[in-house]
């Protein structure tokens, strides 16, 4: 799994991989955006960095153009599943 695309990560690529974005502001405010939300907020070809720059903290108003807001991505399943083992549904 070392094949990393040379192209910059885009919103569309994240959504495709069911990844969401965590934005953590220096003031302590955190925003998690699920792939569904990302898809509604930005064009799929929007670069992730550009998307971050457009973001503004709703608590203190800091801009995403600065390093004071940090962006990480997460896989949707781990965010919602909370490390629970996969549920096996049996028909009985
Ligand atoms: Zn803030």
pLDDT for 77 = 72
Answer yes or no: is 33 within a domain. Answer: yes
Residue at 5 is within a domain: no
Let me know if residue 90 belongs to a domain: no
* 15 three-state secondary structure: helix
CA of 89 to the centre of ligand 1 (A): 42
Sort 72 into a burial class: Cβ within 10 Å, 0-12 / 13-18 / 19+. exposed
**69 CA distance to ligand 1 centroid (A)?**
8
**Arithmetic mean of pLDDT, 25-43:** 96
Q: In this predicted model, which residue has the larger pLDDT, 88 or 49? A: 49
Looking at the domain assignment, is residue 87 inside a domain? no
Q: Does 89 reside within a domain?
A: no
pLDDT score for 8: 80
pLDDT recorded at residue 79 = 46
Domain that holds residue 72: 11-81
> Does residue 3 lie within any of the structural domains?
no
| pLDDT tens-digit series, residues 40-87 | 999 999 999 999 999 999 999 999 999 999 999 999 875 455 555 555
The total of structural domains in the chain comes to 1
**Domain annotation covers residue 91:** no
Cα(36) to centroid of ligand 1, in Å? 23
């Amino acid at each position: 799994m070392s094949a990393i695309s040379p192209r910059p990560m885009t919103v569309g690529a994240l959504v495709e991989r069911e990844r969401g974005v965590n934005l953590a502001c220096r003031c302590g405010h955190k925003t998690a955006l699920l792939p569904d939300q990302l898809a509604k907020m930005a064009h799929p070809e929007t670069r992730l960095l550009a998307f971050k720059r457009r973001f503004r903290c709703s608590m203190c108003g800091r801009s995403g153009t600065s390093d004071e807001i940090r962006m990480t991505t997460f896989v949707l399943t781990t965010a919602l599943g909370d490390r629970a083992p996969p549920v096996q549904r049996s028909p009985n």
